[in-house]
Structure 1
Amino acid sequence: MSSSMVRALFTALVAPAGPALPPVVSRSPLVLFHVDSGGCEACGLEVEALKTGGYGLAEAGVEFSASPRLADMLLVTGGCSRMMAPVIRAAWEAMPRPKGLIAVGACARDGGLFPQNYATLGGLENHASVDLFVPGCPPTPSEILGAVIAVTARARSGSTRDTAA
């Protein structure tokens, strides 16, 4: 290694790099917890596709959690079956405040193809105060992400509703 190269490396390591940059304000991501409550699984598959790297989830400041205790928003797909209603409620109650509820797809909204009957409660619209409905059967991952980004400002300001599923 030549002496000029060593000098350049040493100078780069000890010399100031330039004017100080303003501190970066870190933003914590919006954390979602997904519950697939039954149905045809199409909306659940679209949410799983959203988790792949191609949709820019991290760049949008959104991530998914495996635990509702770490989540800001509960994302529900599928018509609400009677067996999954306690699971949705338990996830909701485990979440810290402020928290919000997002219903993805026609089934999560009003039951879609799975209206209220002996096995299902229909959708969430008659059972919970939903912060955001994402329409579609199924909505695309881009539509889901766009809707989540739209509700992010409300979630960060703490103005989401606080009622149980």
Structure 2
Amino acid sequence: MARKHDICVLGATGMVGKEMMKVLEERDFPVDRFLPLASERTAGQKVTFKGKEYTVEEAKPESFEGINIGLFSAGAKVSKIFAPEAAKRGCVVIDNTSAYRMDPEVPLVVPEVNGHAIKRHRGIIANPNCSTAQMVLPLKPIYDAVGIERLVIST
């Protein structure tokens, strides 16, 4: 039996946070405890996860006690405040904002391309923006086969 995880979604009331919850459900990710979090502005709203209704709590540093995995999508300012607090408490943060994308100490990961980079995390893992993530997937086999010296991209 797969180990179950204590998970929070910070930004649970937003479109990306709701999609994160939907993917966790669709993939039947093994969740023991689920904690939906948001900013003060949207705390108190209701969300449904795996058929159960939850009241979204306001994120506070102590919210991350006992949480194994934190999925963050509440904006860069919020991530800058709470990702270090969560990591300090043993939570591995997967940050979907721009907050840590350029930080050399934080691995920037697309699992199908450089999943091995996760091994060097110190509590926070960043992912690139949606355009980059989609672009690098088909480029990876080309890079592996013949190399790529330079790309010029406009979005």
Larger Rg, first or second structure (1 or 2): 1
Q: How does the TM-score come out when normalised to structure 1?
A: 0.40
Q: Structure 2 length as normaliser, TM-score? A: 0.42
- By relative contact order (CA 8 Å, sep 6+), the higher-ranking structure is 1
